[in-house]
Amino acid sequence: MPSSLRPELKNAKKSFVLRKGRTTSAQRRALKYLKKQHTIQLGEDKVDFSAAFEGSPKKLIADVGFGSGESLLYMADRFNEVNFVGIEVYPPGIGSALNQIEQNKLTNLKIIESDVFDLLETKVTNETFDAMIFLYPDPWPKRKHLKRRLLSEDFLNLLYDKVVIGGLVFCKTDWGDYYTQVKEAVASDNGWLREDLTNLPEYLKSLPQTKYERKALIEGRESRELIFRKTPR
């Protein structure tokens, strides 16, 4: 299946909304001085992830919209046998992650500053990622905004191209109708097989609470998880 999204969808939809947020002096310094060492700079060609990780033949996991980076940094620090890529557009989050990568001397984690739609469509070859992680994607709770949700059927088709056969997609949300939407989209596509949550890979077990999960708990919303595997169509 071609990876291109419909033109009208691509033009109307972004994977993010840049909200106002304070960037600390430490984050600004990281954005200025640490990008060269710890980010993958995008050019005209597809990303060469093997070169970015200096030829390391490890599994490659992408954390999309990692926010403050709690879970991403937890995984990278504890599972150095896996390479991780954090995809984000939010400067404070990127700055915080860069500082932690530097302080903890993490060689198995790189950051990409990009909209995930543009990145996957133009810069990532097919069957690149062993897993892709989506923790608390923007729920767009208003009915008139539901079409803006990231994990749509169209986007799952794009993910299908970029994940290896047998690869995983993991998502976590505190909005019940979003969970149902993704579950139904997966069930209607014979290329995805829903997995039992007892079969989570080690790097997804015991993830730390993110600030979004803490907010959900305070506001009385239950967090729910889905994991599904790519199978041949």
Active site residues: 138
Q: What is the 3-state secondary structure (H, E, C) of the chain?
A: CCCCCCHHHHHHCCCCCCCCCCCCHHHHHHHHHCHHHHECCCCCCCCCHHHHCCCCCCEEEEEECCCCCHHHHHHHHHCCCEEEEEEECCHHHHHHHHHHHHHCCCCCEEEEECCHHHHHHHCCCCCCEEEEEEECCCCCCCHHHHHHCCCCHHHHHHHHHHEEEEEEEEEEECCHHHHHHHHHHHHCCCCEEECCHHHCCHHHCCCCCCHHHHHHHHCCCCCEEEEEEECCC
Burial zone of 168 (CB within 10 Å; 0-12 exposed, 13-18 middle, 19+ buried): buried
